[in-house]
Structures are given as structure tokens and as C-alpha cells.
Amino acid sequence: MCCSSFLKIMMFIFNGGIFVAGAAILGVGVWVKVDSGSLLGLLDNVEGAPSGLSQLVYVSYLLMAVGGVLLVIGFLGCCGAVKESRCMLLTFFSIVLIIFVIEVAGAVVLLVFQDLADQLLEGLEDEVITSIRKDYGSKESLTSLWNGTMDQFKCCGFKNYTDFNGSPFYLDHGGDVYPPTCCNATITVGVCNRNEASLSEVDGCFVKLLQLIEDNAVIVAGVALAIAALEIAAMVVSLVLYNQIGSKA
């Protein structure tokens, strides 16, 4: 009896952790989806973008799906322990096992993608710059996306301010004006012209994105390992509890 109570408590702890992790991942997915200024949104406006990188536009749906599934299995595990239902515990174990295998496969894909990130970035460069020079300043949706992205990440264009040369915005302002984010506010007085943009040396937005990914890689890996550990522990406890309930029958 004491052992059974202990196992139930462990199931609550492990599944509570899975439930919280699922809620967090779901929240991140929703945030990415509603964030219209995200760098990922720019990929929708780029013709000829590499197919592998363009799929990142749908990362929010993947996050929401994973978060939702983790919420369900966390709830299912707790209910199975409380009701001592072998069917629910077995269903819980099966779902967690499938999710765990998918996560392992996803981790392998991410490792491969990290090695290919620079190559994909190089392949995307010409298309993005062409898009800027064709539509920035004339196409409202693209202009708003770039303005929101540059303001959020404190960056300028794809590589630097020269990406805006020849764009409708550039031509409409006399051929020597760039977006305000292309100049350092501490050294710029008035409009952002070629000289001040050159002196400011503001980083390109996709360089900023790669830096953001690299800076948070350790955190993401830590969270993923913690979730995987919770899932393994929950699967072990659910099997033990499943067998114990069966022995009582």
C-alpha cells in the first residue's frame, strides 16, 4: 500500500512536470504564431527561398502540437494513477514512448540543421536582398515586417544597410536615406544617410537571428533533456504501477 502511494505521488510529480513543460511549449508556439514581426514571417515574402529553411515558418504549429500533446499525456498519466486504470496507464506509456522517439529524431534533425545553417543562409541571401530592393517602401506588408524585425532585433537588412540600395524607399528619399535602425542613434543626428550608416556598422538581421539561436542553444538543450528525463521516469513508474495494479486483480 505504501509502495502504491509512493508510485502515485511520483506519477503526479513527473506528470506535473510534463504538464508544465507542455504549457510552456504551447505558449511559445502561440507567441511565435501571433508575432507578425518575427524574422520567420519574412520567409513568406521571399521568392525562391530554400525549401528546408522556408519550413521554419510553420515552427509555431509544431510547437503548439507538441505542447498540446504534452498537456494531454500529463493529464492522462495523473488520471490513470488516481483511478488505477491499467488501460489509461498503458495508453499513457504508449503515447509518451512515441513522443520520446519523435523527440530523439527531432534532436538528430536539429543537429544536422545546425551544420547546414550557414549553407542555407548563403542560399537565401540573394533572394532576400532582391526582395528588399524590389518591394521595401512600396509593398506595405513586406515593409512593415522588415521595420518590425529591424526594430525588435536592432539590426539592418539581411547583411547591412547596402541591402536597401535601389529599393523604392531609397529612391523615394533621394538616394541617400536608409531606415533609422541602420544607424546608431547615439551618433546619428537627423536622417540616416550613407555616411552615418557606414559608421554605425549595424549587424544584419539574419546574423542576429543566428546569434540568438546559438546563444539560446544551451537553454533549449537543457529544457529538452529535462523533458526527456521526466518522460523516461514517468514511463518507468507507469509500468511499475501498471504491473502492481495487475497483480492485485
Confidence of residue 167 (pLDDT cuts 50, 70, 90): very high
Provide CB contacts within 8 A for 197, sequence distance 6+. Answer: 156, 160, 161, 178, 182, 183
Average pLDDT for 210-229: 74
Residue extents of the structural domains in the chain: 2-124+217-248
Give the pLDDT of residue 101: 82
The chain-wide mean pLDDT, for the chain, equals: 77
Specify the pTM. Answer: 0.55
The pLDDT tens digits for 85-129 are 778 778 888 888 887 887 777 677 666 665 555 566 566 778 888
Give the pLDDT of residue 52: 46
| 3-class DSSP state of 50 | coil
Give the pLDDT of residue 231: 80
Give the pLDDT of residue 53: 46
Cα distance between residue 235 and residue 95, in whole Å: 10
Cα distance between residue 159 and residue 187, in whole Å: 21
What DSSP state is assigned to residue 36? T
User: How much of the chain exceeds pLDDT 70, in percent?
Assistant: 75
Distance, first Cα to last Cα, the chain: 14
Indicate if the pLDDT at residue 67 is higher than 80. Answer: yes
Give the pLDDT of residue 161: 93
Residue 3: all three cell numbers together: 509502495
DSSP codes, 149-197 = HHHHHT--SSSSGGGGTTSHHHHHTTTS-B-GGGS-TTT--SSB-HHHH
The pLDDT tens digits for 183-212 are 987 665 678 988 889 888 898 988 887 777
What DSSP state is assigned to residue 38? S
